[in-house]
Chain A
């Protein structure tokens, strides 16, 4: 049968269209990624700089009643309220400061900061004029925002930092790891190496896969009902958060550990068994060391997911306003994603850049964890 050239051309066109479409789909994901990162960085990078104002601070008796009197009157509306708050404390701690005057750089308030960064602000025209004068005098400068990394949360945008959230994240991560890693690896070893092929084990297997796909918010309900209401552990504590996240991470660790164990060829097991090792000796001396890179890769990915998780933590009350670092496992703590959530719902504009900056920090941590996992995998991956 002769081939109609027109139909052939049509088919060829449709082939190239389909191919182009499939490349387009990947590009959409790529473009989104680029736009997303560009947007977050654009909004957040300014938060890493902070405006300071040069001021003469006078310590007199009257600042105990009215701390603002320590500053030049015209500067008062421009300076952060946090600065004036600590002055009386300083005087009480060092009484010899009384009567001295010193020139210091003090934190500007969020509105001045936003104005200096050319962002929308609520400064009055008179204040804008003053700020412009100060800039011309060289009494205003932008410095690296150390406070963002060394302060806890604050209601004043210019004072707010991520330290308490970062420490809380480390606490939470530690608890999650301690509870989920041993249990997860043990369960995976049992299921791969020891489990009989019976109905119970079948249920366990189906159940683990299901658990990995249950919405995280339901784990929050579990944490609220079991750990807080039933066991009476303190609300919004790192312990409850860590336990909840551990239960969420467990299936991820089990699934990836099983995959790592399954990748080890049977010849290794058989060789060891042939030399008279018991089943557990095979596992402990051969299977575990050989599958460790795979297990660690899966664990890092699971923990990275746990760090970013917010919904279950909202439910167990980890969105409280917390200024200080957690002092123990049962004291109230907050974590980075929860801090981001809290800041994102603040109405003051200056918090938007803080939120984006917090996101940048969180993404840097998560991406480096994922990169570490990929590196581990590439370095230790073995083809048997």
Chain B
């Protein structure tokens, strides 16, 4: 917890120092004023200049200090660190004061600092990605040291509770992930059967047929659909849709589990409609008007124009929109956690209980096993596969969408 305290002390020490530097910088330029000269900038900027010169070494040393502290490499006493920061900060102010004179191009100097800060901000996203990959890979490696990677990928039994060490000292390969992926793909496929036709047709309706009034109602309605939290969809699937499906199946004379794959699939499909429709809407409306006009001028009906001209022209974009939708469905957690089952089940029947990768990840990490137990670590192994899968889908679809837009712009 030293890091938090460190941050507090730093803040307490740095703020007065920054104020001090600001005032000194302003005073310095005021004393050097030549009443007849024209200045390149206001006094305040010179104050900020001093602050910027002071912050850089101070922040640098504090970051290095916290990183050392985090890795437990060196236990730096915070008094020493604070002293170093104050001394370096004061040194920075001193350098700044020496540089301050009326001829200093203070705006340019400040601008450079600002640009650097902005650059750092834009690198956070890269750091986040590296963080995600590292944290998952790091723990997944632990897992694959215990469980054979090949067994994990091709095994058809997932039963971590029974993972015991046999007499020979080997761990039984009960981390076979095939049923989990089968469940995931089954639910994803059901979701796509709902989302793609409905989403695509809504997009066609909104961009080609609908009047302004209809669009004005339909667009926000779809946005509302996109804004509903997934935990709510999950509750709806579990409490309302599942019993409905069980009753219906009963009437037809088939038996269905309450935790069947159909209800989370259907509800997830509805959740994804807005994603498909807004992406396809973008793609369809970026098909140039001249293509439509050419087709209509030849006597084709709008439907024929759409089917024969617009959709083929927009196909790459639509396909990548669908890939993005698949990636969203594969990554969706709450609906399946609440409405799909916990029991891995390798079956083609969507009416039986199935479990998915995400359900097992949540289950493994919300249980009360020790953090280094194989079951807990298996979450990271599954997470790694999920990451690779969704990343591939995302990269392919985002690249295709960008290429598509470039072609018609």
Contacts and interface: CB of A to CB of B under 8 A. Distances in A.
Contacts of A32: 225, 270
A225 B330 CA distance: 22
Contacts of A39: 236, 240
Interface in B193-239: 197-202, 204-206, 208-210, 214, 218, 220-225, 227-232, 234-236, 238-239
Given A22-B204, A194-B115, A310-B334, A214 B390 contact: yes
A17 B227 CA distance: 31
B108 interface: yes
A384 interface: no
Given A213-B327, A230-B70, A15 B302 contact: yes
Contacts of A215: 327-328, 330-333, 358, 386, 390
Contacts of A344: 231, 234-235, 238-239, 338
Given A219-B132, A222-B135, A278 B108 contact: yes
B6 to A, nearest CB: 12
Contacts of A210: 129, 391, 394-395, 398
A190 B122 contact: yes
A25 B136 contact: no
A211 B227 contact: no
Interface string A146-180: 00000000000000000000000000000000000
Contacts of B394: 209-210, 213-214
Contact of B136 (A203, A213, A225, A317): A225
A218 B338 contact: no
Contacts of B255: none
Interface string B162-202: 00000000000000000000000000000000000111111
Contact of B365 (A29, A33, A251, A315): A315
Contacts of A75: none
Say what secondary structure dominates the interface of chain B.
helix
Interface in B220-270: 220-225, 227-232, 234-236, 238-240, 270
Contact of A250 (B125, B274, B390): B125
Please classify the interface of chain A as helix (H, G, I), strand (E, B), loop, or mixed, using the class held by over half of its residues. helix
Contact of B387 (A214, A226, A279, A304): A214
Interface residues of A, number: 93
Contacts of B232: 40, 308, 337, 340, 359, 362-363
A12 B300 CA distance: 10
A225 B377 CA distance: 11
A19 B210 CA distance: 10
Enumerate the 9 nearest inter-chain pairs by beta-carbon distance, A residue then B residue, closest first: A215-B331, A308-B229, A225-B135, A25-B201, A22-B205, A190-B118, A186-B121, A18-B303, A311-B333
Interface of B: 1, 3-4, 70, 107-108, 110-111, 114-115, 117-119, 121-126, 128-129, 131-132, 135-136, 138-139, 197-202, 204-206, 208-210, 214, 218, 220-225, 227-232, 234-236, 238-240, 270, 273-274, 301-304, 306-307, 324, 327-328, 330-334, 337-338, 358, 361-362, 365-366, 371, 379-380, 383, 386-387, 390-391, 394-395, 398
